[in-house]
Structure 1
Amino acid sequence: MMQHVPEAATGKSVAVPEFSWQAHSVLVVDDEEGMRSFLERALRPRCGLVESAPDVEHAMRLMARLHFDLLILHIALPGKSGLDWLHELREDGFTGDVILITAFADLDTAINALRGGASDFILKPFRVDQILNSIKNCFQRAHLARENFVLRRQLAGLSVDIDGLVGASSCMDQLRGVLRRVAQTPSTVLLLGESGTGKEVAARALHRMSPRAQRPFVPLNCAAIAADLIESELFGHVKGAFTGATDSRNGLFYYAHGGTLFLDEVSELPLPQQSRLLRVLEERRLRPVGSEREIPVDVRIVAASNRDLAAEVAAGRFRQDLYFRLAVMEIVIPPLRERAEDIPELVRHFMNLLTVQLGMAPLALSHGLLAQLASYTWPGNVRELRNFIERSLILGGFPVDALSARGDMLNAALAMPLEEVEKRHILRMLEACGGNKSEAARRLGVSRKTLERKCAEWSETGA
């Protein structure tokens, strides 16, 4: 059974699958061997991992090695009581569900348990269907929290066209064919291409055509996260792992479980985090920052870069072993200038999409205008074309004169070395932004780290 959530960008719906029991793990903590055996028999055919322990000490040792989504915890345990341990778990940042069970309880105990962070409170003896319903409710809440996180991320990125790859040119037909074939495999994919060519669109298309289509697609721009936070963003962290870590937090690998994690601008990952990523890809397990526990992960990685990763490897800025691990399938997204015949279709596509988003009437499209747009080289690729259509709708007309002026500048620049053209363009943007490197990097469509590296290179050479 599927839930369907409306998607604001297109008016279509996104299918959100119900949870899978097999995706969850349970730890039973009870001093009665018969109860442990009863719960293990009931849960092992359903859940991905079921372990049991007779007391808190044994349970803590299991939790140091394994990740559990749910604890079924008896209150009256030898040594430390289940209720006391529940309070400690919550103080230490454990975010999983906890079902408390007991043979003797009064109203005060139940209230104390729920205030302490218990997800449910069940009296012994109980029926199998009673405990299974309680567990199912916990799993469904966790599943919905995960899906809501993914949907919020998708809604935050509505500027990205998720309708699919637009264009009937031969290179786009070839690209769709390659993506369709690769989608059916579990292999990692590396998408290469200039900024603005639509690498994330290709990644989403690959996900939609894959067996993981009904699971989450979680994107991350590696250049947009500070170097000291990227590890926590990817793998999560436990409470107290670093200054400011006041609570435990799941990473994006957790939210992408069963689906696809898209790592855009993967070349911007610092070398230490490249090493951590490589280990996760090879072992299919991760360890949150500050934790001793390893968590199994089932995630397909699709990475993207607008830089030559082989050159980055040669320069010592990217690990060779990670490059080979990511580039199992390497796919190049063509620039817009190599598929100019697709421009009229793209113009109409963005016109239809943006008039809905902006609530504006469409502009008239003549053959002469489409021919003029098709003759422009679009150095910013599809992203620049989309921005041009959006700006035209806001202005109420197409500022084609501005395109002509920019085209003249490009023609004049052909006589210059590429490095000089790049330098002049960056310096002009820095000047336009009053020296604000973050804003200049945003307008240029690169990371601040990339911009600072370019400026440092010019400073070292005296250029």
Structure 2
Amino acid sequence: MSPDEHISPVSKTTMSVLIVDDEPGMRSFLMKALAKKFALVETASTIAQAEELRSHGHFDLLIVDIRLPDRSGIEWHEALDDPERQSDIIFMTGYADMDVAIKALRAGASDFIMKPFHLEQMITAVDRCIEKRLLKRENFMLRRELSHGQSSTIIGNSEAIRDVKEVIERIAPTNAVVLIEGESGTGKELVARQLHQQSGRSGAFVPVNCGAIAPELLASELFGHTAGAFTGAKGNREGLFSYASGGTIFLDEIGEMPMNMQTALLRVLEQRAIRPVGSEKEIDINVRVIAATNRLLIDEVEAGRFRRDLFYRLNVLNIVIPSLRSRPEDVVELTHYFTLQLSQELGIKDVIWSHEDLQVLQQHDWPGNIRELRNMIERCILLGKPPAEYWKKPVSVMVNDAMGYPLSWPLKEVEKQHVTKVVDSHSGNKSAAARDLGVSRKTLDRKFKDWLTHEKQGLEEE
């Protein structure tokens, strides 16, 4: 079977491979076969040539003949013993020596193939290496997601949010670039996650906050770098575009991106290729780009702070996220969602807010939008303070004397006076007052009922 006839179960990735063999025919044969799988395929006839190529770029996979003119592949310690480079290695040999095979595997080889071999053998070994590396990338992104504690649920049933959900459903299956606009805290990343989840793309969702990364490091974070590309770059490193292979990269706060990086991003969008910092080679990518901003980018363009051509390249499809104050009908549902979520995270029994609490939440302007609401709910749960009390100013209570009540009062009258003042300080909100007093609302209602009964009895006696 020829390389052209073989169809791989693993689609082309952004990964790179280096073939090291002193036989020109073998190099040509493998290069033709693997070009269908890898974004970059390079060949070398000696370890010295291979090291020169490795000094200018990262290779995910090395396919190496053991017997080479300058050195044995098993003695290629620069590749085998460098944890920074993390390349998988498949060794090949035309000599049926079991001891050599054992040495190769002990040296860290991912696989060992005897020459001559069928192409299917090599492809199977290559696919195993690709799948293992993709799994590593997925695990890396999963740990990254867990550390950020991100959700992908869009909460709300207002007309504005229903419109956003409809747009997501309509444009998610496309590969077009999307620009999401909205105030800080409105949930732009949730929309981006929904676009990815409904797109059917098999790769990872990779969020990047462009404003949180130092400008001088942004290119390395996005595109990766080679060893020695800059001070501190001890080894080759993949960028986040590579981790997003087959998936989606979300460029949040795109308006914060420096001008030189805007130029680099424009080239990536046009060429569908990235160039690691310090490398002379470009690597093809299969990544959907979603950008977001809390600024009006057209204003940034007019002010000369954002490239006009990049703005039009990003603004192919546009989604505007409404502010929370423009959809107060969603506040109650969001409050219930965050209360349940946070109660579980904090290990606290379910919290139930009163009607007064929910009313106060709906009346607030929420300048920080959903993020502010979630943070406030968390503080209320931790402090045991209901939302209705969150913005309430302390009320000074007038007392009759230094002790707060006449010494001649019986204990029941002191209790009644204190409870009444606490309820008054909460503007009649008995639920809030009960929480401050450390009793149930039912107990408080019973006391007021008893006091009312005694008052009626006193009037009747008069």
Contact 1:67 1:293 in 2 (8 A): no
CA distance in 2, matches of 1:347, 1:357: 15
Q: Relative to structure 2, which stretch is displaced further, 242-251 or 354-363?
A: 354-363
Quick check: 1:86–1:117 contact (8 Å CA) kept in 2?
A: no
Q: CA, structure 1 residues 181+65, in 2 after alignment: closer, same or farther (shift >3 Å)?
A: farther
Counterpart CA distance in 2 for 1:303 and 1:45 is: 31
Structure 1 residues 217 and 173, CA gap change in structure 2 (3 angstroms): same
Offset at residue 26 of structure 1 (A):
4.3
For residue 145 of structure 1, the aligned residue among 112, 133, 136 is 136
> Residue type of the partner of 2:173?
Q
Tell me, yes or no, if the aligned pair for 2:55 and 2:226 is still in contact at 8 Å: no
Taking the TM superposition and a 5 Å limit, the aligned residue runs for 1:211-250 are 211-212=200-201, 214-250=202-238
Contact residue 25 and residue 49 of structure 1 kept, 8 A: yes
In the aligned structure 2, how far is the partner of 1:26 from the partner of 1:83? 18
Match of 1:97 in 2: 88
1:257 aligns with 2:248: no
On the 8 A contact 1:222/1:230 being kept in 2, the answer is yes
The answer to whether residue 189 in structure 2 is matched with residue 174 in structure 1 is no
Q: Secondary structure at the match of 2:238?
A: coil
How far residue 44 of structure 1 moved from its aligned partner, in angstroms, is 5.1
SS at match of 1:263: strand
Task: Tell me, yes or no, if the aligned pair for 2:56 and 2:278 is still in contact at 8 Å.
Answer: no
Q: How does 1:11-22 map to 2 (within 5 A)?
A: 20-22=10-12
Match of residue 333 from structure 1 = 321
Deviating more after overlay: 72-81 vs 136-145: 72-81
1:297 to 274, 285, 291: 285
Match of 1:155 among 134, 146, 154: 146
Q: Is the 8 A contact 2:328 2:362 kept in 1?
A: yes
Aligned partners of 2:68 and 2:160: how far apart in 1?
Answer: 66
Partner in structure 1 of residue 361 of structure 2: 373
1:165-219 deviation per Cα after TM superposition (whole angstroms, max 9, x unaligned)? 111111111111111112121111111111111111111111111121x321000
Asked whether the 8 Å contact 2:31–2:43 carries over to 1, the reply is no
Alignment CA distance shift 1:259-1:53 (3 Å): closer
- Match of 1:229, SS state, is helix
Q: Structure 1 counterpart of 2:306, which letter? A: F
Please name the residue that 2:335 is paired with: 347
Rounded to whole Å, the distance in 2 between the matches of 1:53 and 1:236 is 22
- Residues 321 and 46 (structure 1), Cα distance of their counterparts in 2 relative to 1, 3 Å cut: closer
Q: In the alignment, does 2:275 pair up with 1:287?
A: yes
Mean alpha-carbon deviation: is it higher for 45-54 or for 350-359?
45-54
- Letter paired with 2:196: H
Whether the 8 Å CA contact 1:67–1:295 is kept in 2: the answer is no
Q: Is the partner of 1:361 in helix, strand or coil? A: coil
Maintained 8 Å contact 1:21/1:47: yes
1:257-286 per-position Cα deviation (integer Å, ceiling 9, x unaligned):
111101111111111111111111110111
Cα drift, residue 40 of structure 1: 6.4
Q: Among 295, 298, 310, which residue is 1:322 paired with?
A: 310
Q: Deviations over 1:354-413 (max 9, x none)?
A: 1221111122233332122101111111111111111111122314333356xxxxxxxx
Give the alignment partner of residue 45 of structure 2, picking from 39, 55, 58: 55
Q: Distance in 1 between matches of 2:64 and 2:99?
A: 18
Structure with larger Rg = 2
Aligned length: 385
Residue 27 of structure 1 and its aligned partner are, at CA, apart by 4.3
Does the CA contact (< 8 Å) of 1:183 and 1:209 recur in 2?
yes
Question: Is the Cα contact below 8 Å between 1:33 and 1:54 reproduced in 2?
Answer: no
Structure 2 equivalent of residue 423 of structure 1: none
Give unpaired runs (5+ residues) of structure 2. Answer: 1-8, 394-462
CA change 1:243–1:107 in 2 (3 A) is farther
Question: CA offsets, 1:308-337, max 9 Å, x none?
Answer: 111112222211111111111121110000
* Contact persistence 2:18–2:42 (CA under 8 A): yes
Partner residue in 1 for 2:68: 77
Structure 2 residue corresponding to 1:274, chosen from 227, 242, 262: 262
CA contact (8 A) 2:343 2:351 kept: no
Contact 1:193–1:332, Cα closer than 8 Å, also in 2: yes
Please say which of residues 76-85 and 372-381 is displaced more in the overlay: 76-85
Residue pair 2:331, 2:362 contacting (<8 A) in 1 also:
yes
State the SS of the aligned residue for 1:228.
Answer: helix
Q: 1:203 aligns with which of 192, 207, 211?
A: 192
CA distance in 2, matches of 1:374, 1:115: 65
Runs of 5+ in structure 1 lacking a partner? 1-18, 406-463
Matched residues in 2 for 1:137 and 1:94: separation? 19
Deviation at 1:234, TM superposition (A): 0.5
Counterpart residue type for residue 299 of structure 1? V
Cα gap change, 1:276 to 1:400, in 2 (>3 Å) = same
Quote the Cα distance in structure 2 between the aligned partners of 1:60 and 1:369. Answer: 67
What's the secondary structure of 2:211's corresponding residue?
helix
TM-score with structure 1 setting the length: 0.74
What letter corresponds to residue 193 of structure 1 in structure 2? Answer: G
**Contact (CA 8 Å) 2:209, 2:253: kept in 1 or not?**
yes
Work out the percentage of aligned pairs sharing the same amino acid.
Answer: 49
Alignment equivalent of 2:390, drawn from 397, 402, 421: 402
2:311 is paired with a residue whose SS is helix
Distance 1:357 1:404 in 2: 27
**Cα distance change of structure 1 residues 171 and 404 upon mapping to structure 2, 3 Å threshold:** farther
Contact 1:63 1:293 in 2 (8 A): no
- Kept in 2: contact 1:66–1:295 (CA 8 A): no
